[in-house]
Amino acid sequence: MKIFELLGTKHVLTEFKSEIKDDVINELIDLLNGDERILNLEDIRNCVFEREKKMSTGVGKGFAIPHGKTDSVKDIIAAFGKSEKPIDYNSLDGEPVQLVFLLIGKENLVAKHIKLLSRISRLMNNDDFREKLIKADSKDSILKVFEEEEQNYSDVY
């Protein structure tokens, strides 16, 4: 499974409504509402914010990857959003973020979760890739950017 296959257009935001870190995370979590793989949305919200309390998931280079593991999902699920305006995210490099990738793993799928986090980090380390995502103006074009970039990598599982 590829990253873009985890997303789908209903789990992509082309522009966040807020510039506040917690609100941005909540916007992504809210995209998961109604997904058949979700057992309890509030448990997901709690696990993501508990993880965020331990250390900021703003990893640098304008990118954040809020994530968590919970048995309130049937399978790994993801959402992605971007912002034209920089978001103060308390990132490790002190810089604001524009790209946020939410990843929720299931407790017993730890290896998959870690591999996906690694893949997302590797993708986001590419300056050209991040720039293409920032310039993408529709959900479909965002997914296409992910799909095209992932052609450069072997499968995750």
Catalytic residue among 11, 21, 45, 67: 67
Domain that holds residue 47: 3-150
Q: Note the pLDDT of residue 151.
A: 82
CATH of the domain at 118: 3.40.930.10
Reference 106, options 23, 22, 39, 16; nearest CA is: 39
Q: Tokens 């809210």 correspond to what residue?
A: 30
CA 37 – CA 45 distance, rounded (Å) = 15
Q: Note the pLDDT of residue 155.
A: 52
Q: Is the pLDDT at 157 greater than 60, yes or no?
A: no
Q: Is 10 inside any structural domain?
A: yes
To the nearest whole percent, how much of the chain has pLDDT over 70?
96
- Please give the average per-residue pLDDT across 114-131, as a whole number: 86
Q: Tokens 């935001």 correspond to what residue?
A: 13
Residue 65 pLDDT grade (very low, low, confident, very high; cuts 50, 70, 90): very high
The domain tally of the chain equals 1
**67 part of the active site:** yes
Q: Is 75 inside any structural domain?
A: yes
Q: Note the pLDDT of residue 113.
A: 73
Q: Is 84 inside any structural domain?
A: yes
CB 92, CB 24: distance < 8 Å: no
Report pLDDT digits (tens) over 42-55: 999 999 999 999 98
Q: Is 157 inside any structural domain?
A: no
Q: Is 156 inside any structural domain?
A: no
**Strands 77-87 and 67-69, sheet pairing:** unpaired
